[in-house]
Structure 1
Amino acid sequence: MAIRPNPANGPDMRNGLAALVVLSMTGWVLVLWSVANMSSPLISLMMPMTSNWAVKEVVAVWLMWAVMMGAMMLPSAIPMLVIHRRIAVRRDSETPHANRWFLAAYLLTWALFSLAATALQWNFQRADVLSHMLRVQGALVGGGILIAAGIFQLTPLKAVCLRKCRTPIGFLLTNWRAGRRGAFQMGLKHGYYCIGCCWSLMMVLFVGGVMSLTTIAILSGIVALEKLAPRGEQVARLGGGLLIAWGLWLIFH
């Protein structure tokens, strides 16, 4: 008797995973290029020296944030995307490429978050507390951001959002929607939980430096550990304590 191949483990699945890896790597290449080419006219648009932004500066700053958020968040979301694709092959075989709609919605949520980050950057510049490297100046402001981020790491809301991100199968089975619209809705919902889990860590970029590759890499690693490590909840709580300690040191030192 012939054995029928499982479409959830076939070439299409491997190609889909490879595409996600390539997309994630592309984001990181763009981040690395930005950091290595600070004198580029495009990078200058992303780092305006004053708060007198024209439309091109607004678009450039938003684009910087959107690419950076995609690069930082997509690697830790790959398990969710892969499991969604596997389930969709079995439960929603009539909808081709449902996983693409899930991914598009997930990235859209972070693009919307990037609008808020862009507005915050503009307000920091308007208040004259942001350096040319996009790092907040002043111990009180920087320490306040760190303490606020650390406190959020210890809240029940953080725990709930992190739990949703850490249990892909549970999230998908309890929120399953068929069709392209359903996949898009699930992607949006997962994105909302992901933002709820990680928004405060992204604000730490303003303390370590938005254009600091070290800060970007460390925060990406923390996000990945929280979502993928066996004891991710403890990583989040430990990180919260360290952020509070760092903030207090920054203020009183």
Structure 2
Amino acid sequence: MSTLIVSRPAYRSQRAFFVVSALLFAASAAATIVWCASMSAANRMPMPGGWEMSMAWVRMCGQTWTSAAASFIGMWDVMMAAMMLPSLVPMLWRYRRAVAAGCASETRLAPLTALAGIGYFCVWTALGAAVYAAGVALAELEMQAPVAARIVPVSAGAVVLIAGALQFTEWKARHLASCREAPGHGRTLPADAATAWRFGLRLGLHCSYSCAGLTAILLVIGVMDLRAMTMVMAAITVERLAPGGEHVARGIGGVTVAAGLLLIMRIVALG
């Protein structure tokens, strides 16, 4: 009887963790779909070279740069939540187990797990701010210099090619291994806020580095393209969670290199 009484709160805590994770994913995915639908083809600007620039990088009439940046970063955070949660949730679950192994109470697990998740997404928020600043600068250049705009399609192909090659590097393998590594290496973790925050930040940094190439592909193909988001999310999730993640990453790299070459050849052929 005592075992049942002790295990019941743990079961409720575990169930709540997965229910909340599922709801966060569903909400972020739905918001991302609505955002992408609102930023339709009508919200794209034809550019020299036969391509269209997303208006995400252009300030709307009457909008300040501060509000434009805040709007982009907010949408970026929602999109990253939808893309990263499938691979993040198992790591947060392992973190909970490592903390619980140190006899932490069930009531402390939820706030500590939430803090670790916030730390993780703070890294992606900072990256979103950097991406927006770079995107705005490039958009300004492309609008003012037609020559720069004309080389964008072939440059996008080159980015895809380089991103594919990055999948084969030791740098990628090292950060991917850190993303896949169980918290605590089989040991317990302290049940304190500082450890939770550091864990989230460290995991966020390793995962942002590991995803650098795939994130670059998303940006050049279309940051508001649902198909591109789905493919990148699938690639990130599989290489982090599937057995033999390093081999999976190299397989993804091979496909990406081939896609980059085909894209460049197609652009060159079209002249």
> Is the CA contact 2:164–2:252 (under 8 Å) kept in the aligned structure 1?
yes
Match of 2:180 in 1: 166
> Is the CA contact 1:45–1:57 (under 8 Å) kept in the aligned structure 2?
no
Per-residue deviation, 1:49: 6.5
Per-residue deviation, 1:81: 0.6
Match of 1:217 in 2: 230
Query: Percent identity, aligned pairs only?
Result: 29
- Separation of aligned partners in 2, 1:45 and 1:35: 12
Q: Match for 1:227 among 240, 244, 253?
A: 240
Moved more, 56-65 or 181-190: 56-65
Query: Alignment length, in residue pairs?
Result: 244
Match of 1:99 in 2: 113
Moved more, 237-246 or 211-220: 237-246
> Is the CA contact 2:58–2:136 (under 8 Å) kept in the aligned structure 1?
no
Match of 1:82 in 2: 93
- Separation of aligned partners in 2, 1:109 and 1:169: 18
Per-residue deviation, 1:13: 1.4
Q: Match for 1:67 among 78, 89, 93?
A: 78
> Is the CA contact 2:157–2:264 (under 8 Å) kept in the aligned structure 1?
yes
SS at match of 1:204: helix
Moved more, 154-163 or 88-97: 88-97
State the TM-score, normalized to the length of structure 2. Answer: 0.80
> Is the CA contact 2:57–2:139 (under 8 Å) kept in the aligned structure 1?
no
CA gap of 1:57–1:2, structure 2 versus 1, over 3 A, is closer
Moved more, 219-228 or 205-214: 205-214
Query: What are structure 2's unaligned runs of at least 5 residues?
Result: 45-53, 144-149, 267-271
- Aligned CA-pair RMSD: 2.9
- Separation of aligned partners in 2, 1:141 and 1:53: 30
- Separation of aligned partners in 1, 2:257 and 2:67: 37
The one-letter code sitting in structure 1 at the alignment partner of 2:193 is: R
Q: Which structure has the larger Rg?
A: 2
State the TM-score, normalized to the length of structure 1. Answer: 0.85
Match of 1:195 in 2: 208
- Separation of aligned partners in 2, 1:145 and 1:204: 7
> Is the CA contact 1:226–1:232 (under 8 Å) kept in the aligned structure 2?
yes
CA gap of 1:14–1:146, structure 2 versus 1, over 3 A, is same
Per-residue deviation, 1:83: 1.5
CA gap of 1:177–1:192, structure 2 versus 1, over 3 A, is farther
